[in-house]
Amino acid sequence: MSPRPTPEQLSALQARLAQASTDRDQRKTEAIEAIETQFWTAIAAEINGDDSYFGIQKDIADALGVTRETIRTQLKKYAPPA
């Protein structure tokens, strides 16, 4: 059986794992942000596009199962202004 790690080895391991966890969380946050931006930009394009019509925002909200307020806040947060 191999010997137990020294306290220095154990603390170095914990530091490496903490850094890896932080890096993973940062990459996950960036990926989610990119996905949400792409999705809500596509929704904004539907609302502001040539095929848009009165009531499209409500129809999109119904199709997504969210409220019109959710559409409005997410567009404000993720989609560039038209």
| pLDDT of the residue at 41 | 96
| pLDDT of the residue at 1 | 77
| pLDDT of the residue at 81 | 77
| pLDDT of the residue at 8 | 94
What does the alpha-carbon distance between residue 16 and residue 77 come to, in Å, rounded to a whole number? 34
- pLDDT per position as a tens digit, 18-63: 999 999 999 999 999 999 999 999 999 999 999 999 999 999 999 9
What does the alpha-carbon distance between residue 57 and residue 43 come to, in Å, rounded to a whole number? 9
Q: Which of 35, 48, 49 is nearest to 78 (CA)?
A: 35
In this prediction the pTM is 0.78
Q: Which of 71, 20, 72, 42 is nearest to 34 (CA)?
A: 42
Q: Please compute the mean of the pLDDT values over residues 5-30 and round it to a whole number.
A: 96
| pLDDT of the residue at 53 | 95
